[in-house]
Amino acid sequence: MCTGESCFEVKIEADNNDITEHPHDDKPTPYVCTDCNKQFISNVALNNHRKNHTGDSVYSCNECKKCFSDLSCLRRHMNIHISKYKCTECGKCFGDRRDLTKHMRSHSGEKPFECTVCKKRFTQSGSLVMHSRIHSGEKPYKCHMCDKAFSESGSLNNHMRVHTGDKPYKCHICDKTFSHSRNLNDHTTVHTGDKPCKCSLCNKAFSNSSNLKTHTLRVHSNTRPYYCPCCEKMFTTNGDLKRHVRTHTGAQLYSCRHCPECFTHYNHLKVHLQESHSEGN
């Protein structure tokens, strides 16, 4: 295998396994890596890419020791070291002309990919693909634990924390951890006392918009638009309805990662983890 820099110059400007951006083409259906959200046009290409995350990489860069699953990926990577595709605005280097072209839009503001339904524009075709699912209702990313589906892989990754109990967001004041960044942001108001969300009808203030919305519906509105198809009981929010319906169906969506126990409500799982497995104690 060649080790000199000249041996690694890419002769093909773009990696044919990646989604090629053509504003006028039919919208592609990408295969998305759940580790880094990179998109591919075939499952074979995606599986080859995943080797970069699983450790099945055999080609090593002499400059930074980063490893790759095939020689073409290493060659593309080497272009970054030799600055073959360099942004003239900020100096950032890329592996091929396609990535440089996409990056340049961050400086120019160009958005060549337009949604045919709402006319919203995007800098990348992948962003348009994900956006279009809002209109089509397509949700290709399904949870294998509860069959809930999502339009984006990132949303599925966030959802999986419900089942795994992973809480990567930590409060720097009290060390309490959270599964989502928005929950951490809401929590910090406990320490600061901030209540930025004010009700326009009674001026009562809340620490987050969710509490304000619930307050508005329950206090200032007599409507309860969500009703149970089993017993016709009415609810203010869809979340309250969903939790109630489980009392009829017996659905157990939350499983313990230590034992076979399953629970209908997340709070029941939390109590179980504390009492049976000493989590949070």
Is 223-281 in the same CATH topology as 8-104? yes
Tens-digit pLDDT profile for residues 155-204? 888 888 888 888 888 888 888 888 888 888 888 888 888 888 888 888 88
Tens-digit pLDDT profile for residues 209-252? 888 887 887 777 766 777 787 887 888 777 888 888 888 877 77
Residue 23: pLDDT over 50: no
Q: Count Cβ atoms below 10 Å from residue 80 Cβ, excluding itself.
A: 20
CB 123 within 8 A of CB 104: no
Closest by CA position to 141, among listed 34, 62, 253: 34
Please indicate whether residue 254 or residue 6 has the higher confidence score (pLDDT).
254
Residue 11: pLDDT over 90: no
The CATH topology of domain 223-281 is Double Stranded RNA Binding Domain (3.30.160)
Q: Going by C-beta distance under 8 Å and a sequence separation of 6 or more, which residues neighbour residue 120?
A: 114, 131
Q: Give me the sign of the Cα torsion angle 185, 190, 196, 201.
A: positive
Predicted confidence band at 79 (pLDDT cuts at 50, 70, 90)? very high
**Burial code of 149-177, b = ≥16 C-beta within 10 A, e = fewer?**
ebbbbeebebbbebbebeeebeeeeeeeb
Predicted confidence band at 95 (pLDDT cuts at 50, 70, 90)? very high
Reported pTM = 0.37
The CATH topology of domain 8-104 is Double Stranded RNA Binding Domain (3.30.160)
**What is the CB-side half-sphere exposure of residue 78 using CA atoms within 13 A?**
21
Q: Going by C-beta distance under 8 Å and a sequence separation of 6 or more, which residues neighbour residue 58?
A: 67, 68, 69
Q: What is the pLDDT of residue 265?
A: 76
- What are the extents of the domains in the chain? 8-104, 223-281
Residue 20: pLDDT over 70: no
Go through the chain and tell me how many residues it has: 281
